[in-house]
């Protein structure tokens, strides 16, 4: 496998996997919270929060990348705050690529989890309450197990989206091999040099394989969970 | 356990103003749909917060709007059996049954429910490893009853638990309920719109109508109260009876406060205490002792009062020995017999049905 891909190409694949993995893991708690709030709570600013979450889906990725640069770049208002303490946290680093991927994938994750939460009958949660379970316990013992398929679906969708993220990443953290050059950036870079098509073709193949594997995995997991709940 | 309940709540289409006490045993909240029965039970459970009210279970205040006390549902320690069983689909039957136990440990348990015994009474032993998705309606409801009881509640709330089941399934579950009540000494608040369930289960009755309490008290008293507003085909007395013995022709002799009665096809042991129901429309009246009739049960009685029931009918309340009976007559018959309070009559009981054996 390593013979088949050059070390530089291999580096791009591994970086993409790492960036996407951390993008999904790090945004999951917030995604779960926001999905629960949108599904179950009625509060002032509900529509505004919903809009904000979905914004990256409808904005041009370049705009999202630029806004990230303004916010988290070394001179951005959060970036500048972190800089004296931790050095550059996101700017031109793989963590920045993960941040960009997380923001772009967030709407998909929230949407999948929210749909799963809305499908849970609140009457079941009420029944758990009458049996002595306080709110956090109701969530942990009833809601969470029932929305697990939705969470898995949301994570895999978000992972696939993160793997394919290009516009916001290249705008925010550029295209530095080994640092921020993810699969799509590497494919783009390969197509910019004469004779780069074979490299691009190999990376495209890797992208397809990873995407297909993610899809099959999510199908298998949700089938297994559904079978468990159906009760055979 | 005694529940003292008082609430006032305004809905767009209904104003509820309800107060009653539920002592140990089964208290049935009876009324047509939409009269506010479920709202009362939800208020007891803490699922609905009334505008104003006070709900006390023995010495624990569950709600007192004047003092600003409102315990959340999970701290009230009540069992709630819903009309739809609401079992947790991701847990097995056994895990469902034990759900409440995870959370009651911290309370000092006065009495620990014996899991094996309850599973045995409900007949759900063979289901323990299955998931709710594969259970029938009757099985689900029995598991739901077990789950509520095993949470070790001080009070069991049952909101029409049998309404969604067919007659055969109801007949399976009713004896379980009676056994549970008798063996565990539970206090149960039971919502129903079915007269047969009330007559069979109730120790006490609260009749609700349009958000108000129309009648409340011990079952024998409320069910013979013409002011409780039962329809003519629902009205009737319930009577405790003691089995004396069976004769060779198959008739059983019973002793009741109203006098001795003969009933066919009764298989109870001598000394057993039973509950009978005598529907008002199966009681005929005669001024003189009837002769040459087929009815075996003729009781001496005295008219207490008469209540017009629609345009043509009359509900007559009778005192027979130490019991109260109801008779439904046409107004024409009542006039022909010249019935007035205090009148001595003979009550011909055409049928009496066995409701249950009492422990």
**Is a pLDDT exceeding 60 seen at residue B91?**
yes
Q: Is B103 on the interface with A (CB under 8 A)?
A: yes
- Residues of B in Cβ contact (< 8 Å) with A229: 89-90, 131, 133
Tell me how far apart the alpha carbons of residues B303 and B261 are, in angstroms, rounded to a whole number. 20
Mutate to test the interface with A, among B70, B77, B89, B143 (most CBs of A within 10 A): B89
Span of B3-12, B108-117, B122-131, B166-175 with lowest mean pLDDT: B108-117
Mean pLDDT of B166-180: 86
Which of B239, B215, B233 is CA-nearest to residue B225?
B215
Distances (CA, A) of A30 to A23, A24, A53, A61: 12, 10, 11, 21
- Residues of A in Cβ contact (< 8 Å) with B88: 124, 127-128, 142
* Residue of A123, A133, A229 with shortest CB distance to B74: A133
A interface residues, B as partner, C-beta within 8 Å: 121, 123-124, 126-134, 137, 141-142, 145-146, 228-232
Mean pLDDT over all residues of chain B? 89
- Residues of B in Cβ contact (< 8 Å) with A123: 82, 84, 86
Strand B155-159 relative to strand B204-209: parallel, antiparallel, unpaired?
unpaired
pLDDT at B359: 46
Confidence of residue B283 (pLDDT cuts 50, 70, 90): very high
Mean pLDDT of B258-274: 86
- Closest chain A residue to B81 measured between Cα atoms? A127
**What is the interface size between A and B, counted as CB pairs within 8 Å?**
78
Q: Are A123 and A69 in contact, with CB atoms under 8 Å apart?
A: no
Say what the ipTM of the complex is: 0.82
CA distance B54 to chain A (A): 19
**Is a pLDDT exceeding 60 seen at residue B135?**
yes
Confidence of residue B111 (pLDDT cuts 50, 70, 90): low
- Closest chain A residue to B104 measured between Cα atoms? A132
- Residues of B in Cβ contact (< 8 Å) with A129: 47, 72-74
Q: How many CB atoms neighbour CB B11 within 10 A?
A: 11
Contacts (Cβ under 8 Å, ≥6 apart) of B320: B258, B259, B299, B300, B301, B302, B347
Mean pLDDT of B247-258: 90
Confidence of residue B68 (pLDDT cuts 50, 70, 90): very high
pLDDT at B59: 86
**Is a pLDDT exceeding 70 seen at residue B30?**
yes
**Is a pLDDT exceeding 70 seen at residue B107?**
no
Q: What is the pTM of this model?
A: 0.84
Contact flag A131-B134 (C-beta cutoff 8 Å): no
- DSSP assignment letter at B166: -
Mutate to test the interface with A, among B82, B83, B84, B88 (most CBs of A within 10 A): B88
Confidence of residue B130 (pLDDT cuts 50, 70, 90): very high
Strand B3-10 relative to strand B52-57: parallel, antiparallel, unpaired?
antiparallel
Measured at the CA of B326, the angle between CA B321 and CA B328, to 5 degrees, comes to 140
Q: Are B202 and B39 in contact, with CB atoms under 8 Å apart?
A: no
Tell me how far apart the alpha carbons of residues B188 and B220 are, in angstroms, rounded to a whole number. 18
- Residues of B in Cβ contact (< 8 Å) with A228: 90, 131
**Is a pLDDT exceeding 50 seen at residue B176?**
yes
- Residues of A in Cβ contact (< 8 Å) with B75: 132
Contact flag A130-B47 (C-beta cutoff 8 Å): yes
- Closest chain B residue to A147 measured between Cα atoms? B90
Contact flag A123-B99 (C-beta cutoff 8 Å): no
Q: Are B313 and B331 in contact, with CB atoms under 8 Å apart?
A: yes
Which residues face B236 on adjacent strands? B279
Q: Is B99 on the interface with A (CB under 8 A)?
A: yes
CA distance B20 to chain A (A): 22
**CATH of A7-231 given 3.90.1150.10, 3.40.930.10, 1.10.15.40, 1.10.3720.10:** 1.10.3720.10
% of chain B with per-residue pLDDT over 70: 96
pLDDT tens, N- to C-terminus, chain A (232 residues):
456 788 888 999 999 999 999 999 999 999 999 999 999 999 999 999 999 999 999 999 999 999 999 998 888 888 888 877 777 778 788 999 999 999 999 999 999 999 999 999 999 999 999 999 999 999 999 999 999 888 998 999 899 999 999 999 999 998 888 889 999 999 999 999 998 899 999 999 999 999 899 888 888 887 887 777 665 4
Going through B14-88 in order, the beta strands assigned E by DSSP cover 15-22, 25-30, 52-57, 60-64, 69-70, 78-81
Q: Is B77 on the interface with A (CB under 8 A)?
A: yes
- Residues of A in Cβ contact (< 8 Å) with B82: 123, 127
CA distance B268 to chain A (A): 39
Q: Is B129 on the interface with A (CB under 8 A)?
A: no
Backbone angles phi, psi at B16, to 5 degrees: -100, 130
pLDDT at B231: 79
Which of B93, B75, B200 is CA-nearest to residue B144?
B93
pLDDT at A80: 82
Greater confidence (A150 vs B111) lies with A150
Mean pLDDT of B210-214: 92
Contacts (Cβ under 8 Å, ≥6 apart) of B298: B289, B290, B346, B347, B348, B349
pLDDT at A231: 53
Q: How many CB atoms neighbour CB B130 within 10 A?
A: 17
């Amino acid at each position: 496998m390593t013979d088949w891909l050059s070390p530089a190409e291999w580096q791009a694949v591994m970086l993409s996997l790492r960036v996407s993995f951390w993008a999904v893991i790090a945004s999951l708690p917030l995604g779960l919270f926001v999905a629960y709030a949108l599904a179950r709570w009625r509060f002032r600013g509900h529509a505004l929060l919903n809009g904000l979450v979905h914004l990256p889906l409808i904005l041009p990725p370049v705009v999202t990348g630029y806004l990230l640069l303004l916010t988290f770049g070394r001179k951005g208002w959060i970036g500048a705050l972190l800089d004296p303490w931790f050095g550059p946290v996101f700017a031109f680093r793989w963590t920045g690529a993960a941040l960009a991927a997380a923001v772009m994938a967030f709407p998909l994750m929230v949407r999948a989890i929210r749909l799963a939460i809305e499908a849970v009958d609140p009457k079941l949660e009420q029944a758990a309450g009458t049996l002595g379970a306080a709110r956090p316990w109701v969530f942990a013992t009833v809601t969470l197990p029932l929305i697990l398929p939705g969470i898995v679906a949301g994570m895999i969708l978000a992972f696939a989206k993160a793997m394919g993220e290009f516009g916001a990443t290249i705008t925010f953290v550029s295209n530095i091999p080994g640092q921020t050059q993810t699969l799509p950036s590497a494919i783009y870079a390969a197509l910019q040099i004469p004779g780069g098509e074979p490299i691009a073709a190999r990376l495209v193949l890797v992208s397809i394989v990873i995407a297909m594997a993610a899809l099959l995995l999510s199908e298998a997991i949700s089938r297994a969970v559904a079978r468990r709940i159906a009760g055979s | 356990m005694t529940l003292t309940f008082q609430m006032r709540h305004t809905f767009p289409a209904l104003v509820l103003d309800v107060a009653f006490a539920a002592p140990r045993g089964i208290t049935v909240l009876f009324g047509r749909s939409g009269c506010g029965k479920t709202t009362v039970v939800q208020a007891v459970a803490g699922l609905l917060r009334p505008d104003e009210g006070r709900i006390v279970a023995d010495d624990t205040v569950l709600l007192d709007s004047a003092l600003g006390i409102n315990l959340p549902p999970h701290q009230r320690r009540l069992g709630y059996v819903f009309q739809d069983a609401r079992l947790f689909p991701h847990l097995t039957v056994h895990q469902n049954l034990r759900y409440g136990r995870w959370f009651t440990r911290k309370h000092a348990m006065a009495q620990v429910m014996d899991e094996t015994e309850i599973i045995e009474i409900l007949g759900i032993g063979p289901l323990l490893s299955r998931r709710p998705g594969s259970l029938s309606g009757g099985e689900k409801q029995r598991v739901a009853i077990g789950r509520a009881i095993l949470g070790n509640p001080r009070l069991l709330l049952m909101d029409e638990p049998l309404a969604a089941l067919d007659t055969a399934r109801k007949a399976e579950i009713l004896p379980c309920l009676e056994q549970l009540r008798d063996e565990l000494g539970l206090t149960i608040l039971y919502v129903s719109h079915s007269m047969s369930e009330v007559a069979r289960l109730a120790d006490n009755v609260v009749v609700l109508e349009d958000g108000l309490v129309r009648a409340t008290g011990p079952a024998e008293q409320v069910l013979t109260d013409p002011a409780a507003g039962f329809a003519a085909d629902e009205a009737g007395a319930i009577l405790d009876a003691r089995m004396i013995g069976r004769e060779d022709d198959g008739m059983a002799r019973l002793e009741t406060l109203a006098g001795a009665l003969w009933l066919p096809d009764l298989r109870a042991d001598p000394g057993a205490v039973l509950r009978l129901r005598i529907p008002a429309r199966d009681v005929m009246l005669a001024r003189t002792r009837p002769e040459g009739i087929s009815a075996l049960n003729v009781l001496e009685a005295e008219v207490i009062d008469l209540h017009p029931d629609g345009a043509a009918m009359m509900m007559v309340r009778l005192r027979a020995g130490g019991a109260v009976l109801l008779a439904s007559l046409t107004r024409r018959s009542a006039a022909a017999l010249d019935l007035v309070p205090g009148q001595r009559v003979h009550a011909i009981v055409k049928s009496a049905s066995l409701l249950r054996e009492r422990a």
